Amino acid sequence: MKDDNFTINVQLGGFRLPLKIARKDEELYRKAEKLVVRYMDKFQKQYSQRPTEEILILVAYQIAVLVSKQELSEDIVPLAEKIQILDQELEDLLGK
């Protein structure tokens, strides 16, 4: 049987990290690596006197904020759809 997992190497904060992942998730992991590197570069320029460990904490926090915003947006979508349906029903009732 074909193994759908393989190892990729990501470079984050000066560390090489071998990760065993599902092949179908490779693009996701590569995008995540680029995101972390982008924030690391940004924060290293902004806080050049801070140690790498603090920069990594800032990066983790920034990404956690992004994830929280995304989760909030996903929670609101079903509610917004329900409001639109109720709004249409009200318009139909009031229009009669």
pLDDT digits (tens, 9 = 90+) for 21-45: 999 999 999 999 999 999 999 999 9
**What pLDDT was estimated at residue 78?**
76
pTM of the model: 0.69
Residue-averaged pLDDT of the chain: 86
Domain boundaries, position 70: 5-95
Bridge partners, residue 71, by sequence: none
CA dihedral 88, 89, 90, 95 (to 10 degrees): 90
**Mean pLDDT calculated for residue range 81-95:** 77
Report the SS3 class of residue 15: strand
Nearest to 33 by CA among 47, 17, 22, 48: 17
Residue 77 has pLDDT above 80, yes or no: no
